[in-house]
Amino acid sequence: MDNLKYYNDSLAYDFEMFMPKTAPKTNTRDNIVVMPKTAKKTKSRRRAAARSLSPSVAVVMGAIFVLAGLCGNIALRLQINEVNSQINDMKAAIAELDSEKTSLEMEYERRISFANLETKAAEMGMKKPSKEDVVYIRVNNKNAAKTADGTVITAE
């Protein structure tokens, strides 16, 4: 825009700002020339590419891809089944060890029960103490004690 015009007049009278803008002109490049030899080469390449993959080859390749996918799926399922069987074997071994642990704990509890201790003590000749087996010590004075043979022991 021309700034000089705004110094002389007021902006309120500038109606050019409200006029619709015209679209800029596009530059057409008329100086590009397509060489006929390159156009023929690209067309021949396209035709050669289209001829190289015939429909029967495409069907065979599709069948090979599907067959490869199925074989891969079967191989993966076999591996999954092998891992699952190993997991089941380990679970069975864990269950067996748990039952063996339980039986060993029961055997341990059976061996150390009080009834077994009493029978084993009776076999060895031990017996429960009676009133005659207990010896009481009577202390009359705070600093003296009398033994079973009648002697008196004092703290002095």
**Distance from chain centroid for Cα 65:** 33
pLDDT digits (tens, 9 = 90+) for 103-127: 999 998 888 888 888 888 889 988 8
- pLDDT for 89 equals 97
pLDDT digits (tens, 9 = 90+) for 49-86: 666 667 788 889 999 999 999 999 999 999 999 999 99
Average pLDDT over residues 130-138: 78
- pLDDT for 5 equals 55
Q: How confident is the model at residue 88 (pLDDT cuts 50, 70, 90)?
A: very high
Given a contact cutoff of 8 angstroms between Cβ atoms, the answer to whether 156 and 145 are in contact is no
Q: How confident is the model at residue 141 (pLDDT cuts 50, 70, 90)?
A: low
Residue 78 and residue 73: Cα distance in Å, rounded?
A: 9
Buried b (16+ CB within 10 A) or exposed e, 105-129: eeeeeeeeeeeeeeeeeeeeeeeee
Q: Where does the chain have alpha helices with state H?
A: 3-8, 36-52, 55-111, 114-123
What's the Rg (C-alpha) of the chain?
56
- What is the chain's mean pLDDT, rounded? 79
pLDDT digits (tens, 9 = 90+) for 8-38: 555 556 667 777 777 777 666 667 766 666 6
Indicate yes or no: pTM above 0.85.
no
On the CB side of 122, CA atoms within 13 Å amount to 6
Locate 118 and state its tokens: 């009493």
Domain range summary for the chain, segments of one domain joined by +: 90-124
Place of tokens 């800029």: 24
- pLDDT for 129 equals 83
- Higher-pLDDT residue of 10 and 144 is 144
